[in-house]
Amino acid sequence: MAISKDEVLHVARLARLALTDEEIERLTEELGAILDAVGVVAELDLADVPPTSHPLDLVNVWDEDEPRESLPLDDVFANAPERDGDLFRVPPTT
């Protein structure tokens, strides 16, 4: 099942990957082949089969509303690429 270059670009945008031209070409081919292989799942008529999200049948797993200690600031920023005071700094969104 082929995937078009446009679709590859669209997906790359959604996934926030700035692919190079070489990557786009290679991925278009590779993804096409993989989609061919995985696409066989469409052979099965599964309208009456419920989907499985969890292999273990648990429900209602939750915690009481009791506060636990938060991280000290040094830990919060220990790996931060750019710290500005006590805030994380990133380039502007527009």
Residues interacting with other proteins, by CB under 8 A?
A: 3, 7-8, 10-20, 23, 27, 30-31, 33-35, 37-42, 44, 46, 49-56, 58-68, 70-71, 73, 75-82, 84-94
Which residues make Cβ contacts (< 8 Å) with residue 77, sequence separation at least 6? 83, 86, 88
Nearest-approach distance from CB 47 to other proteins, in angstroms: 9
Nearest-approach distance from CB 62 to other proteins, in angstroms: 4
The C-alpha atoms of residue 14 and residue 52 are separated, in whole angstroms, by 25
